[in-house]
Amino acid sequence: MTDLDHLACGCDVNEVIEQVADGRAGQLTEHQRDCPACQAALQEFSRLWEPVRRLAAEPVPVPAGIKAAVASQIGKLVSDVWYTLHLAEAGALRIAARVVAKVAGDAASTAPGVTVAFGRSTHRKIAGPAEKATLRHDYRHAAIGVLGSTAVIDLAVAVKYGHRLDAVAREVQRRAIAAVRAKTGLQDITVNVTVDDIVA
């Protein structure tokens, strides 16, 4: 049974919503700086909260029911934090987080100079919360946070010696984002790339 009160990493959904509502979405905690699940939630909740923020800036009362409508939509999003969610007239469309991560990882492996791409960063601070969240669901190669139409993906790559590392990392990022957009329809995508090894 899904815990509707917590994100995949275990953080309280209501605390993240309050952070967005208070205008503190950009003030990341130490955990949030390394957690793709929290980063995805903050981005998606900020997008959903934007109508409330716009109306609050105008000298008119907020229409009755708009906050309840936003809260209802957030409730639907967090009903299963392991899937993206797009609500259409014909029904709900969901894509598993592990599928999104695989698309990104496969695209990363095609970048020139990349010898291997991992589905998660092996950087200790990032890998810790990612492993805690994903291994519980048997997503052994996914360091990813998804919520609604937002995805935050952590990738680690090994690069062949002689290639310019920052250029390879940027190309990995570009290819992963393009592939995820093309194959999943997601548009709000963040890809964090870590070069973890150099191979002769």
Q: Do residues 65 and 125 both lie within one domain? A: no
For residue 166, is it within any domain?
Answer: yes
> Which range in 68-72, 89-93, 136-140, 190-194 is most confidently predicted, on average pLDDT?
190-194
- For residue 88, being part of any structural domain is answered with no
Whether residues 57 and 150 fall in one domain:
no
Average pLDDT of the residues of the chain: 83
pLDDT grade, residue 140 (50/70/90)? very low
In a domain, 4, yes or no: no
Most confident of the following: 18-27, 98-107, 153-162, 167-176: 167-176
Residues contacting 57, CB < 8 A, separation 6+: none
Percent of the chain with pLDDT over 90: 46
Domain boundary among 55, 80, 105: 80
The reply to whether 110 and 168 lie within a common domain is: yes
Q: Select the more confidently predicted residue: 8 or 80.
A: 8
Judge whether 6 lies within some domain: no
Domain with residue 130: its CATH number is 3.30.70.1350
How many angstroms from the chain centroid is the CA of residue 60? 34
178 in a domain, yes or no? Answer: yes
- Are 128 and 180 contained in the same domain? yes
Q: What is the pLDDT of residue 61?
A: 66
Q: Is 176 exposed, middle or buried (0-12, 13-18, 19+ CB in 10 A)?
A: buried
Statement to judge: residues 192 and 122 lie in one domain: yes
Question: 172 with 111, same domain?
Answer: yes
30-40 residues labelled b (16+ CB within 10 A) or e (exposed): eebebbbbbbb
Domain-embedded: residue 3? no
The pLDDT assigned to 99 comes to 92
Domain that holds residue 34: 13-80
Q: What percent of the chain stands above pLDDT 70? A: 85
| CB of 143 closer than 8 Å to CB of 126 | yes
Least confident among 18-27, 89-98, 142-151, 175-184: 142-151
Tens digit of each residue's pLDDT (9 = 90 or more) over 25-71: 999 999 999 899 999 999 999 999 988 888 777 776 677 788 888 88
Residue where a domain terminates, one of 36, 52, 80: 80
Q: Minimum mean pLDDT among 38-47, 68-77, 94-103, 144-153: which range? A: 68-77
Beta bridge partners of 152: 145, 190
Instruction: Report which of 44, 179, 173, 42 is spatially closest to residue 100, judged by C-alpha positions.
Output: 179
Say whether pLDDT at 185 is over 70: yes
Domain count, the chain: 2
**Residue 69 domain-assigned (yes or no):** yes
Q: Does the pLDDT of residue 88 top 60, yes or no?
A: yes
CB atoms within 10 A of CB 109: 17
70 and 97 within one domain = no
Q: Does residue 135 sit within a domain? A: yes
Looking at residue 72, its pLDDT comes to 82
- Interstrand relation of 150-160 and 188-199 (parallel, antiparallel or unpaired): parallel
